[in-house]
Amino acid sequence: MTFFPPKLYFLLSQLKNKYLFNSFFFSKIIL
């Protein structure tokens, strides 16, 4: 396991959440 500084880890989690939300949103549009 690599250690991430809290701020970097927070940014990564924000990006991941945004990506998950966008993919969910686009799948809603497509379906």
pTM above 0.85, yes or no: no
Place of tokens 């949103």: 25
Q: Is the separation of the CB atoms in 21 and 29 below 8 Å?
A: no
Q: Is the separation of the CB atoms in 4 and 12 below 8 Å?
A: yes
Q: What is the pLDDT along the chain (31 residues), one digit of tens a residue?
A: 567 688 988 888 999 989 888 888 888 876 6
